[in-house]
Amino acid sequence: MTQSTNGQRVLGKLIGNTGDPMKLQVALKDSFSARRGEFVRIMHQENRSQDPLPVLGRIVSVSRSNVLFSEAVSEGLAELTLLPGTRVTGETIRATLELVGYMDPASGQPRIPRRPLDPGSEVLGVDFEFLREFYRFDPNHSIHLGNLVGYERGANTVPVFLDVNKLATEHVAVLAMTGAGKSFTIGRLIERMVALHNATVVVFDPHGEYGRAFKGGTVQFSGAEATTEDERDRVQLPKVRQNIESLGQKQGRGIVVYTPDMAEFRTKYAGKNRTLALALDQFDLDEFSAVLPGLSEPQQRVLDAALRFWIKTTNPPRAADSLLSFLTDKLGELQDWDELSDAESSALNARSAAVVAIRLRRLINESRSFYCTGMDSPLDVKGMVGRPSDAGGRLVIVDLQGISDSARQIIVALLSTEILNASFDKSDPIRPVFLVFEEGHNFAPASASSLSKNIIKRIASEGRKFGVGFAIVSQRPSKLDADVTSQCNTLIVMRLKNPDDQNFIVKASDMLSRHDIDELPALSTGEALVSGRSIPAPLLIRVGPKALQHGGESPDVLKEWNP
């Protein structure tokens, strides 16, 4: 390979118009000079007063043509044979290059050059030391997601880190088709947030995948530290495991599972799960009415009157079934209340009360997640997520497997509302909390109605200021609400083949180019294109292993069919 004057590999030279940093053309030395996806650098002087700095770029396409085998001359080419050692002239090998940028000495952040690069500049190869220096992070404030694709093994490994503060407060979207590894990826992130950074994470788990890490009421580990080839993970995985085990010895720390009040969950977790017991008196009429859509105006007056009377006449803790009684067998007590308005007295007849009672009973019975008579106590959200003085991380898994979609939306809507409301309380504050909405297109759909969409949109727009961040995970990005995804400042995209989903990614992130999007259908399982505020520049990453057991694998059907 040709060497430049300073001993670095010369891959080729810039040619043509260098004004567009996303479409630079490179004349390569030969067909072995560079491959698609490879990183390169070009020396560039941005200002007269500054010394030249290396600008990092990535080869996004390579073309190779030969006049002898031209498309215009097709007849007889199949029979053409070249003698060994024959040198073929007229071959053109070019590459298209996208700039990542140069590292600004003042800010420490990558900057795209504003002055066009010099035509004829040498395009140089880079080694792992340069890349590691360029993407340097402080491990004390970052999470090792995985390694750069093409530099993921051996001595040349380039680890890639995500900034925890920006990840946890500025929201994340993890988007991929089924089986690409999206749940595994967010699982690796959150177990490190909890074990290494003492975070509070609440996962809404529609299919019980995350709950597998606590199956049988004990923490289940993957054992990946024994098989990983990555030196960093061989050190870090046992540390994650050790920290999770030690956290579990403290009340409310480590892995804690909450479930609806159903026997199936008690069996799954050997009775070590905690029952969801949402307190209805924690929600105002607007919040409560949101999970009872379709009530007429008179019926809403009935509900409002019943709620106020229930709270005034019933001592806490207030069971949901006692509210029902004021709409059925104790309706007379409510009708005789002297604080009813004329409109409420007019609306408060047996027929309207019965309709509201039916809707309310269906809500309670379907979700099995409200505090009722016979339960120990209502859910203490502040105790669940912890207060600032509660040292130690916690992974709270809300297992919603086996219940209806509407019941899931009700639980997500009301529990998220209670968490956000708790974050507003400055007299008794909670710890900063990171929420994970799995199957996000069901909880915040783009066009369809959803009981949970409004609160997720509210968290997206207001949560950062009060220490409530979230990740939304979906296999159908195009079906996600645009107001939610537009607030996600970190985007983790894995294999996607649907054109609508790919177009959605283009609109959702101005940091990804068309070449990046074209890569998505060909990504292997476990490869992710990461961009946004938590990382200096878009990077293709091979996600590393998890310490906790993962529950999202497809079953081995042949093994099941042939035991």
What number is the average pLDDT over the span 479-498? 92
How many Cα atoms sit within 13 Å of 352 on the Cβ side?
19
Q: Cα–Cα distances in Å, from 441 out to 152, 410, 423?
A: 32, 15, 25
Q: How many residues does the chain have?
A: 563
Instruction: Judge if 264 and 348 occupy the same domain.
Output: no
- Output the pLDDT for position 28: 92
Percent of the chain with pLDDT over 70: 93
- Domain-located, residue 375: no
Task: Give the Cα separation of 546 and 181 in Å (integer).
Answer: 12
Which among 126, 157, 174 is the end of a domain? 126
My answer on whether 391 and 500 are in the same domain is yes
**Residues 432-453 pLDDT 10s:** 999 999 999 999 999 888 889 9
Q: For 25-39, 75-89, 350-364, which range has the lowest pLDDT when averaged over its residues?
A: 75-89
**E strands within 70-213?**
91-103, 110-111, 122-125, 142-148, 159-163, 172-175, 200-205
Q: What is the pTM of this model?
A: 0.88
Instruction: Tell me the per-residue pLDDT of 384-403, one tens digit each, with 9 for 90 and over.
Output: 999 999 989 999 999 999 99
pLDDT of the residue at 307 = 92
pLDDT number for residue 272: 95
Q: Is the pLDDT of residue 482 over 60?
A: yes
How far CA 85 is from CA of 81, 82, 101, 146, 212, in Å, comes to 12, 8, 41, 44, 61
Give the model confidence (pLDDT) of 164-179 as tens digits: 999 999 999 999 998 8
Give the pLDDT of residue 253: 94
| Contact by Cβ (8 Å): 93, 120 | no
Number of domains composing the chain: 3
* CA separation for the pair 548, 426 (Å, rounded): 35
When pLDDT is averaged across residues 484-513 and rounded to a whole number, the result is 86
Q: Phi and psi of 72, rounded to 5°?
A: -70, -20
Question: In this structure, are 547 and 420 located in the same domain?
Answer: yes
pLDDT at 71: 62
**Banded model confidence at residue 1, pLDDT cuts 50, 70, 90:** very low
Q: CATH number, domain at 440?
A: 3.40.50.300
According to the model, what pLDDT value does residue 87 have?
Answer: 56
Residues 491 and 408 in one domain: yes
pLDDT of residue 35: 84
| Same structural domain, 25 and 159 | no
Query: Which residues are CB-contacts of 528 (< 8 A; sequence separation ≥ 6)?
Result: 145, 146, 176, 181, 185, 492, 493, 494, 540, 541, 543
Which of 69, 99, 126 is a domain's end point? 126
State the pLDDT at residue 27: 93
Q: Are residues 389 and 340 in the same domain?
A: no
Q: What mean pLDDT is reported for the chain?
A: 88
The answer to whether residue 517 sits within a structural domain is yes
Q: Is the pLDDT of residue 2 over 70?
A: no
Is there a domain that residue 217 lies in? yes
The answer to whether residues 388 and 527 belong to one domain is yes
Same domain, 408 and 551: yes
pLDDT tens sequence across 71-104: 655 565 556 565 565 555 667 899 999 888 888 8
pLDDT at 269: 96
Torsion angle, alpha carbons of 300, 301, 303, 308, to 10: 140
What pLDDT sits at residue 133?
A: 81
Identify the bridge partners of residue 147 per DSSP, sorted by sequence position.
159, 542
Q: Do 118 and 234 belong together in one domain?
A: no
Residue after which a domain boundary falls, among 334, 367, 400: 367
Sole residue written with tokens 């269906």:
362
Check residue 156 and give its pLDDT. Answer: 77
For residue 191, the SS3 value is helix
Residues 6 or more apart whose CB falls under 8 angstroms from that of 81 comprise none
Cα–Cα distance for residue pair 244/393, rounded to 1 Å:
8
Q: What is the pLDDT of residue 5?
A: 45
Q: Which domain holds residue 335?
A: 280-367
| 468 lies in some domain | yes
- 446 occurs within a structural domain: yes
Look at residue 372 and tell me if it is in a domain. no
Average of per-residue pLDDT across 201-229: 94
Q: How confident is the model at residue 520 (pLDDT cuts 50, 70, 90)?
A: confident
Residue 3 lies in a domain: no
Q: Give the rounded percent of residues in the chain with a pLDDT score beyond 90.
A: 61
Indicate whether 271 and 286 sit together in one domain. Answer: no
Both 220 and 290 in one domain: the answer is no
Q: Do 530 and 484 share a structural domain? A: yes
Residue 415 lies in a domain: yes
- Give yes or no for residue 528 having a pLDDT over 70: yes
What is d(CA 495, CA 522) in angstroms, rounded to the nearest whole number? 7
